Amino acid sequence: MAFITSASSGSGSPSPLRQAQPQQKKADFRAAQTLAKQKSLEKRAKNYKLPLGELAIFTQQISSLLTAGLPLVQCLEALQDQTEDPIFRIIIRDVRNDISSGNSFSAAVKKFPRAFNQLFISMVEAGEASGALAEILGKVAAYFESTVKLTKKVKSAMTYPIAVIGLAIVLVNVLLIFVIPVFAAMFADFGAKLPKPTQMLIDLSNFLKPDFSSLGGFFLKPSILHIAVVLYIVFKIWVQFARTPRGRRFKDNLLVKAPIFGNLIHKIALSRFCRTYATLIRSGVPILRTLEIVAGASGKVQIEDACAEISKHVSQGGQVSEVLAVNLFFPPMMKHMVKAGETTGNVDGMMNKIADFYDVECEATVAALTSLIEPLLIVFLGVVVGGIVMAMFLPIFQLGAVAGGLQ
């Protein structure tokens, strides 16, 4: 009887031990997933490039917390808790642990060179050496914020024309590939010679339209797909070439001399040069180290070459204005203001004024380009789309002559 009772209890509902096993497996699986995700984030943190906007916010927050009297480790702990970016949270955690182990703030952030740029690292070193870390981080935060603000203005000004041009390209291709062949078939029934604009448009449509009838025709007949592949290959070759020293120099010279946007790019480069130089000098960074950082932060070979010349000239006892006076990349106004700053002992103040001037000039240039681009795009779209429509309807306007074979 006891045997029957035990058997019936075994065949009833599962025991708590059996119920716990699947739940334990699920918990172990979730833990393994979390651990794998954490390891992946930690691996990515070594080469994570922090956006400049995020770095500006981080710098401003840590400056404010230090000014309020909190210890550096406690500041980083607070920022780690409130940071939404999981990779940056790991970076802040590693920096905090490194500082807790006895290393300096500058040595800790140096381990993440893509997250913290050279300017930030050098400013931290200057702040640690002078004992005014909070004040110096406040200055570099203001510099980052002004850079981000200018970059956003330029990007927002360029978004509209790029979007309109992209939409125009898509629209024209749709007309050429799908709409014009319908008109071409209709005109073929007329049995007469078409006007040259119409015939050229039909020929272009036949060239761009892919041939899906056979595999050989698809690969051998030129079409828009082949043009897209060729353009992609050319773009990849250009990107690889632009990464070489010779290609980078060619690209920067081409950008500065561009007919519409070259002037804007030139002014942005001058503003960044002056602002970075002034911020570093005012924070107590030695001039040779300042020039090295300015060259790395400029992003332009013209500035890098000028910084190398200035560094060599200054190490021999010369002045910055003497190099700027013979360098065609820098305008005369800038040369005279830097020379006046050297005379009065206020080079960083003059550099800041020059940067402010070029920031205003950049904003005015962006506003002018925005107001100029809109009517140009309208005219461009009108000419392209209107030209296609006129070319296709031209035979219909001359329908009597074309249908009668008079042409």
Return the CATH fold of 52-116. Answer: Receptor-associated Protein (1.20.81)
Tell me how far apart the terminal alpha carbons of the chain are, to the nearest angstrom. Answer: 111
Is there a shared CATH topology between the 52-116 domain and the 142-407 domain? yes
Residue 226, CA distances (Å) to 29, 165, 176, 210 in order? 47, 21, 15, 9
Q: What pLDDT does 18 receive?
A: 58
Distance separating alpha carbons of residues 71 and 100, to the nearest angstrom: 11
Per-residue pLDDT of the chain (407 residues; tens, 9 = 90+): 444 444 444 445 555 555 556 676 666 666 666 667 667 777 778 888 888 889 999 999 999 999 998 899 999 999 988 888 888 998 999 999 999 998 899 899 998 888 898 888 888 888 887 788 888 888 888 888 888 888 888 788 778 788 888 888 888 888 888 888 888 887 777 666 778 888 888 888 887 776 655 555 555 556 666 677 888 899 999 989 988 989 889 998 888 888 878 888 898 889 888 988 888 888 888 888 888 888 887 778 999 999 999 999 989 888 888 888 888 899 988 889 999 998 888 888 999 899 889 888 888 888 887 788 878 888 888 888 888 888 888 777 766 554 454 44
Task: List the structure tokens of 371.
Answer: 């107001």
**What would the DSSP string read from start to end of 59-100?**
HHHHHHHHHTT--HHHHHHHHHHH---HHHHHHHHHHHHHHH
Entry field: residues in the chain: 407
- The 10 Å Cβ neighbour count of residue 187 is 19
**What would the DSSP string read from start to end of 267-296?**
HHHHHHHHHHHHHHHHTT--HHHHHHHHHH
Return the CATH fold of 142-407. Answer: Receptor-associated Protein (1.20.81)
Say if residues 79 and 58 touch (Cβ distance below 8 Å). Answer: yes
Q: Domain limits of the chain?
A: 52-116, 142-407
